Amino acid sequence: MSPLPEGAKRSPCPIATALDLVGDKWTLLVMRDLFVGKSKFGEFEDSPEGIPTNILAERLKRLEAGGMIERQPYQERPVRHAYALTKKGRGFLPVLQTMSQWGNDFVSGTWVPPAFFMEMKV
């Protein structure tokens, strides 16, 4: 097989390549939180799914290494960082919107997201 695209671990399939970066049950929840305005470690931790602290730290590192988010210090002593989506990360919005629509269409009782989220453009 020819060399894999950067970041791809299994094949050049674009879906497999995406899943090599975000294919787990937590990463896209952190991205969801970023899209709705959260930016800080404690804010992600406070989301209702209760992401474990060590998993959150690892996923943020992985998203940053994969070019999906970037971090900036917002406080010194101790340094704390705020996270923001990059262009590559914002490009994932349609995946989250279609996933959200699927949940609303096929699983009764799921939350209907705020209109601004479903109408947001990349």
The binder of a second copy chosen from 76, 111, 119, 121 (CB under 8 A): 111
3-state class (DSSP) for residue 9: coil
Q: Is 115 in the site for a second copy (CB under 8 A)?
A: no
Give long-range contacts, CB 8 A cutoff, 24+ apart: 51-59: 51/26, 55/26, 56/26, 56/30, 59/24, 59/26, 59/27, 59/30
> Binding-site residue total for a second copy (CB under 8 A)?
52
Site string for a second copy, 39-68 (x = CB under 8 A): --------xxxx------------------
Identity of the residue, 72 or 106, whose beta carbon is nearer to a second copy in the bound complex: 106
Burial 71-86 (b: 16+ CB within 10 A, else e): beeeeeeeeeeebebe
Residues engaged in binding a second copy (CB under 8 A): 1, 3-8, 10-20, 23-26, 28-29, 32, 47-50, 88, 91-92, 94-113
